[in-house]
Structure 1
Amino acid sequence: MKAGHRNRITRLHLLNTLFPLLTGEDLYLAKQIEQTINFASTGDTENPGQQDEFNEALVRLLQKYLTQDQNFGFYHWEANAGNRSFDPLWAREEIIAGLKEIAGFPKAMFFGTGLRLSLQDTKKNWTAKLDREYEDAVEYIRNLATYWTTKNSELTLVLL
C-alpha cells in the first residue's frame, strides 16, 4: 500500500473518530469532511497538502463544530509552536493551562498537534529512540490530563 493511500485512510479514520455525531459509521461523510478540510487548507478537495496545513484546517473545523455545544470544551495545544523542541517543563505549563481552561465543562477535548515534530526537531529520520521518547511524552501528557481532570468530566485526549 502506498504511503499516500495509507495516510488518507488514516485521516478518514481520524475524522470518523473525531466527528462521530456527524459521520456515525459512514466513511462517505468522513470523506466529505476530509475534502472540506483539504479545500480549506489547499484550495483543492483532493490534495490534503502538508500535514501541518491539514491539522490547522482540522483544528479550525473542530473549534467551530465542538464549541457550538456550550457544555463541551475544546483546547488546541501546538507542541511545535515556534518550531521548538519538546521540553517537558514548558509543555507542562502549557498543558496545565489548557486543561484548566476546559476544566469546567462536563465534556471536553484536548487536541494536541505537532508532538512528533517537536521531538524530531532537526533530526532527519525517525528512530527507535525517538519512538520511545514519543511514547514517554504521550504517557507524561496522559498523566497530567489524569491529574488535572475532575472526576465528573469526560476528557478526550487526542495527540497527533
Structure 2
Amino acid sequence: MSSPRKSTDSKNSPERDLGEDLARLHCLQALFPDWTGDDVFLLRQMKDSIEESIRQQPDTPDTYEVFSELATCLRGSSGTSVPASYAFIRIDFSNRTWDPLFAQQEIARELKKHAGTEQIFLLVKNLRQALFPAAKYKTRLRESAYLEATRFIDELTRHWSTSSSRIHLLYL
C-alpha cells in the first residue's frame, strides 16, 4: 500500500553529504529534545519539513546555516524556549589556518560558558580545510594530521567540560 504523499529523499541535493545531514539531525535533537525524545523518525520528519520550506524559497541557499536559523525560528515561534539543559556550540575554521592555541582558547571559552549543561552539541566545521588550505588529495600524512587534530579537540572537550555534561562532537 502506498501513501498519497511520497517522502522526499534527503540526498536530492548533490552538494550535501551525509555529514551535513547528520549535523542537521543533531541540531534538531539539540533544539527539540522535549518534542522528539530519541525518536529518529520524528527528527527526520522535522528535517524534511524544514528542507522543503527552504526549497520553496528559490532565492534561499540550502546550507546548514540557513537550516539552523529556520530551526531556531521554529523553536522560538513555538512559545517555549530551548531547554536550559541543552547547548549548541558551532566552531567554524573557514578562512583560517589550524592553530591549536586558538582552538584551545575558543573551545575552553565556549565550554566554560555552558558549564553544567546536561547535553552539549559541538559542531566543528572545515577543520580539514584549515589544516590543508590548498590540498586537493588525501594522503596518509594529511589523514594522520587530521586525526591528530581531532584527537586534540576531543581531549580539549573532555578536559574543559563538566563530568555531568554529555558532549556530542561532530566534524564537518
* Superposition TM-score, scaled by structure 2 size: 0.67
1:113 is displaced (CA, Å) by: 1.4
Structure 2: runs of 5+ lacking an equivalent: 1-10
Deviations 1:21-42 (A, max 9, x none): 4493324443333344566895
Kindly indicate whether residue 88 of structure 2 is the aligned counterpart of residue 74 of structure 1: yes
Identity %: 22
RCO higher in 1 or 2 (8 Å CA, sep ≥ 6)? 2
- Aligned residue type for 1:154: R
More moved, 26-35 vs 98-107: 26-35
Matches within 5 A, 1:94-113: 94-113=106-125
* Superposition TM-score, scaled by structure 1 size: 0.71
Structure 2 residue aligned with 1:55: 64
> Partners in 2 of 1:107 and 1:88 — Cα distance?
25
Conserved 8 A contact 1:75-1:98? yes
Structure 2 residue aligned with 1:31: 48
More moved, 134-143 vs 111-120: 111-120
Conserved 8 A contact 2:120-2:166? yes
CA distance 1:75–1:9, shift in 2 (3 Å): closer
Q: Which has the larger radius of gyration?
A: 2
Conserved 8 A contact 1:108-1:156? yes
Structure 2 residue aligned with 1:43: 60
1:129 is displaced (CA, Å) by: 2.1
1:140 is displaced (CA, Å) by: 0.5
Please provide the CA RMSD for this pair. 3.4
Q: Higher helix share goes to which structure? A: 1
Structure 1: runs of 5+ lacking an equivalent: 49-53
